[in-house]
Chain A
Amino acid sequence: MTKKAFRPDVDAPEWKGGHTPYDIIKEGTIAVLVIALLTLILAVVFGSPDETAITIKSWSNADPIDFATTALSELNGTSTSAAYGAPYNHNGTSQQIGPLQLAKWVGVRIPINAAQAFVIQPLKALPNEPTLDAGLAKYTSASSSTQTTWLNAYAKAATNMKFVKGQVVVSAPSAGPVPVMINDLTTMARSGALDQDLLNDNGFYTTDYTKPLLFLADGQYLGNLATEQHLGGDQWGMMNETGNYPGQSWLWLYTFWYQIPPFNNSGNGDALVWGVMMVLSVLLLLVPVIPGLRSVPRKLRIYRLIWREHYRDSGGTS
């Protein structure tokens, strides 16, 4: 205790009033029982969602054209993952906040070469496929410009892609081995073999789903299913979950920024939202030491409601 200027938003008056009995152990016990009971009731009444995860197999069977189109985008470098930038590759400009290029500065730490990881290496794992092997050898030994010519020819024809009797049909005679590669990858995916192949980097055991999740996210199928489940980015995105559940409602402010300009139409939207949330979090942390901000509660006078009995009993002062 000391004699000093009283700062109402920093200092607290010494309490000279009375005390009331308080059984902290009883209070805690009752709280646990009430919360446990409330949890039990909510769990029994509402349960919890558990929508089965989709697989590359289920995707390619449900929408083989979307899969084949996505596979092409991995091969020609136009998919989101292929052109992402850090931390996956050097092919894109990473997001930035003004001059801060945080992702680029940290660099490529989870290297993903989309064409190799999602198309060429899985196809090389297929046994006893002489036509495919010849096509892969032709593709990988071709010059970059020849590959580009093939890929462009295939991409142009792929606007009329069809899926007939289990085969991807694209009329692109000048696309070299690309039609065989895309068709065989689609067949591989529909069998379920691609799901496993994308997980085999570390041998038998794995818990890292980076590659299959990136591949899934590059297609339209995952996003379309999410939109049907009201999970789209413009539907308050990832704070929701499937079904009528509250989800991560505590992320409302984070998700809110994604709904309004400039965040929802900026190429740096994610970085900007995170920047804003970092600033707001620091402000919340430092409220006690920020003049003006720390005076807000006293000016709002909500405390009059909280301590109404105290003010009523003391006639307006402590």
Chain B
Amino acid sequence: MSNAEIDRQWTTRLRRKAAGKLPPEKLLPDTQPSYVASWIYVFGVATLASLGVVIFTGCILAIRGPQWWHGSQYGHFINSLHLWSVEIFFFTMVIHLWGKFAMAAWRGGRTLTWMTGVVTFLASIATAFTGYASQSNFDAQWITTQAKDGINATGAGAYFNVLNLGQMLMWHIVLLPIAAVVLTGLHVLLVRIKGVVPPFEDDVQPATQKVAVGE
């Protein structure tokens, strides 16, 4: 096999492109720009950490099935961990989101980074909602019977039936977590590729200068 043939392989081309876009020093950096010096930056990694705790506690709940936590003190405690990790997840994510808005973090070709973050936020809301709908308790009864009217009004209720426990549980533990995790992974990779947005040039904005091209 010739080198030219190897060069044309999909695998070779993908590896070279990935290595070019995201070399190891970008994927796992050991330095950062000196302007990254604020507590607001903590909320990005805190969101990721709480997502990890959400998934871990959810996996423990899944082992014994959806009814387990109603009749087991240990199960109820795991449910409490799951609940509070979700609360922390949204708390940190919302602060992260508004912090990035305040920084106009889409600048310098980071539009896709912003958009994947927003879609992840929306997917997370849907994931949490289906979790509340799958609790099989009074809260789930009330939340689903109220929410059906809004979702039905969009036409989506014909296919996304919030009163169908099995369907909501599948969305909650399979489809939406996959979407949320994939989107989060993409978002983090884009952050690593593009880096953290630099500060505004606050007082001096020349008409032309060397810039990272926006989209």
Q: Which residues of A approach B to under 8 Å, CB–CB? A: 1-15, 17-25, 27-28, 31-32, 34-36, 38-40, 42-44, 46-54, 84, 86-87, 94-95, 102-103, 105-110, 206-210, 213-214, 216-217, 222, 225-226, 229, 231, 233, 237-238, 241-242, 245-246, 248-251, 268, 270-271, 273-274, 281, 284-285, 287-289, 294, 296-298, 300, 302-304, 306-311, 313, 316-318
Q: Distance in Å from the Cβ of B200 to the closest Cβ of chain A?
A: 6
- A51 and B138 contact, Cβ closer than 8 Å, known pairs A42-B84, A102-B154: yes
Is the beta-carbon distance between B204 and A317 smaller than 8 angstroms?
Answer: yes
**Known contacts A20-B34, A87-B157, A288-B111, A242 near B139 by CB under 8 Å:** yes
- Cα(A102)–Cα(B202), bound, Å: 47
Among B107, B119, B145, B169, point to the contact of A285 (Cβ < 8 A): B119
B145 to chain A, nearest CB (A): 4
Given that A11-B213, A231-B142 are contacting pairs, would A32 and B49 also be in contact in the complex, using a CB cutoff of 8 Å? Answer: yes
Asked whether, in the complex, the Cβ of B30 is within 8 Å of the Cβ of A21, the reply is: yes
Given contacts A53-B136, A316-B203, contact A27 B154 (CB under 8 A): no
Interchain CA distance A31-B96 in the complex, whole Å: 14
> Which interface class (under 10, 10 to 19, 20 to 34, 35 or more) fits B?
35 or more
Q: Are A294 and B104 in contact (CB under 8 A)?
A: yes
* Most A CB within 10 A of own CB, among B36, B102, B132, B210: B102
Q: Given known contacts A6-B209, A270-B153, is B107 in contact with A12 (CB within 8 Å)? A: yes
The verdict on B53 contacting chain A, using a C-beta distance below 8 Å, is yes
- Tell me the complex Cα distance, A25–B46, Å: 13
CA distance A298 to B81 in the complex (A): 39
Q: Could you say which of B4-12, B85-93, B177-185 contacts chain A? A: B85-93
A4–B139 alpha-carbon span in the complex (Å)? 56
Interface of B, secondary structure class, is: helix
A87 to B115, CA, bound (A): 32
Nearest-neighbor residue (CB-CB) of B51 within chain A: A35
Residues of B close to A307: CB separation below 8 A: 35, 37-38, 103, 199
Contact check, A13 vs B198: say whether CB atoms are below 8 A apart. Answer: yes
B158 within 8 A of A: yes
Query: B32: which of A22, A46, A313 is its contact (CB, 8 Å)?
Result: A22
The answer on a CB contact under 8 Å between A316 and B202 is yes
In the assembled complex, 15 residue pairs joining A and B whose CB atoms fall closer than 8 Å, in A order, are: A8-B201, A19-B33, A22-B29, A22-B32, A31-B46, A42-B88, A44-B80, A103-B155, A107-B158, A209-B164, A210-B161, A222-B145, A248-B128, A249-B87, A306-B103
Interchain CB contact (< 8 A) of A208 among B77, B137, B150, B164? B164
